[in-house]
Amino acid sequence: MVDSEQVQPFIPFQFPETAALGVPDQYGKKQGQKIPKETIYQQASPTHAVRQLFVSQVEHITWRYKLSADTLNVAANGDVPEIQVFDIQLKADCDALDRQVLETLDKAIPSNIFYRIFNANERRPQLRCVMAYKRANKRDTDMMVVQDYFSSEWTTVPVEESGTEATQKLPVVLNMVSLYTELLRSLLPVPARPREKIDEQLNRISELSVLNGKLTQLQGKQRKEKQFNRKVEMNSQINQLKQQIRSLQDI
């Protein structure tokens, strides 16, 4: 999973009640539908090791919202017919969710999923949002291909009664593909350039990741290098990498 270092602090989304699922509580607010782990196991056939991750890390999974053309009153699109919003409550002794848990869920459910992961700290309840760049398999339309995961930082769980602007409304979009793009972009570590397509932005982020890895590796070698001439040579390479990185980060 890629942890983003966003320019702007992440603000959790406020999903409309028209897209909420489950039985209403005493205040008329729907609480979502619990998804038994066994149902996920049946759909995805995870290994024993992955099942143990579910047992040790996940308290419960709730399907909270179904974002679609009908529930949001936007244009339908065959590429992104729906986006599901899943809430994952972590176990009390777990402070991070293994990527394999998310991969198993994405394998079991042939739909785009926006995850809200909640910690179990009652004194300081926090959440982080995660979404995969997920597309339909051209060879098997019943399967989805996950290319990578992107995540917000941990942020304080919004309190509706606080009266503060702790959440943001969904982006104003014309269709479901645009909504998916905007939700994913809210988690990306590098902002989009003007008129940049999502594929182009993701390719740029991937290049940045590779270059940053090379830079870290080269800087580590330079610190250990004892020969002055080699240090000078490495410094030149480091500056070139930094220039490439700045070029890719430029908006």
pLDDT above 50 for 156: yes
Confidence of residue 49 (pLDDT cuts 50, 70, 90): very high
Q: Answer yes or no: are the C-beta atoms of 150 and 184 closer than 8 Å.
A: yes
Residue identified by tokens 């607010």 is 29
Q: Answer yes or no: are the C-beta atoms of 118 and 150 closer than 8 Å.
A: no
Confidence of residue 203 (pLDDT cuts 50, 70, 90): very high
C-alpha dist (Å) from residue 242 to 36, 112, 193, 219, 230:
48, 35, 19, 11, 18
Section 110-133 average pLDDT: 93
Note the pTM of the prediction, 2 decimals: 0.89
Q: What is the mean pLDDT of the chain?
A: 91
pLDDT above 60 for 5: no
d(CA 118, CA 128): 7
User: Is 139 strand, coil or helix?
Assistant: coil
H or E segment at 105?
A: helix 99-108
Section 193-221 average pLDDT: 96
